[in-house]
Amino acid sequence: MPLRPDPLRAARSPGPRTAGIILAAGGSRRLGRPKQLLPYGAGVLLDAVLATARGCAFGQTVLALGGAAAEVERTVDTSGCDVVLNPDFGEGCASSIATALAALHPETSAVVLLLGDQPGVRAASVRAVLGALLPTPAGAAGIAVCRYDDGVGHPMAFARRLLPDLAALHGDKAVWKLLAQRADDVVEVRIPGPVPPDVDTEDDYRRVLARLQGAL
């Protein structure tokens, strides 16, 4: 697993506690061009996701790349991220999750999953799901997900004790299967508005752009 740690992050944060994992390794088969690099605002889709991650004050941010990795690294400012390359990205996002988890600092206490093609996620939502993992008199949840007006979606936060389960996943959409298996360990965090769209097709991309225009 090639790993290119960010030297500035390593110098300023010797013991991260929370980590963000950005899943941006997809091969964009349905779209036919690298979705990470689709124009968005003043940059590209992945720029927007990285900007959100930088606003979350993670102790460590791991960026998983695979499809079009070389082009992404030439185009996108990945400073502040530990970049990992997943050679098995065609097997689904679970392989990227496992690759990223292997690069985590050993003292990581919680992980947030972010999609590299979902620029509408806000840092406030990340803080909300992380906060939902804090212990309460009733105990501590292992997984926190966002409950939007029209469904459940990312970002999702996972406590340290769930990381082995995450690492053992296989295939695509495997995270959702884990949520179903661990339903008693999941807490939903209310987030106003619809689920932020991600991009698999040209129609998805048009919806993402329309939402951006509506927010300006």
CATH number at residue 193: 3.90.550.10
Q: Would you state the pLDDT for residue 127?
A: 96
pLDDT category of residue 177 using cuts at 50, 70 and 90: very high
Burial class (CB in 10 A: 0-12, 13-18, 19+), 174: middle
Please determine, for residue 28, whether its predicted confidence score (pLDDT) is greater than 50: yes
Cα–Cα distance measured from residue 173 to residue 42, given in angstroms and rounded to the nearest whole number: 31
pLDDT category of residue 31 using cuts at 50, 70 and 90: confident
Neighbours of 163 (CB within 10 A): 19
Residue range(s) defining the domain that contains residue 175: 3-215
- pTM assigned to the model: 0.90
Q: What's the structural domain count of the chain?
A: 1
Summarize the confidence of residues 86-95 as an average pLDDT. Answer: 89
Torsion from C-alpha of 180, 144, 78, 91, nearest 10 degrees? -10
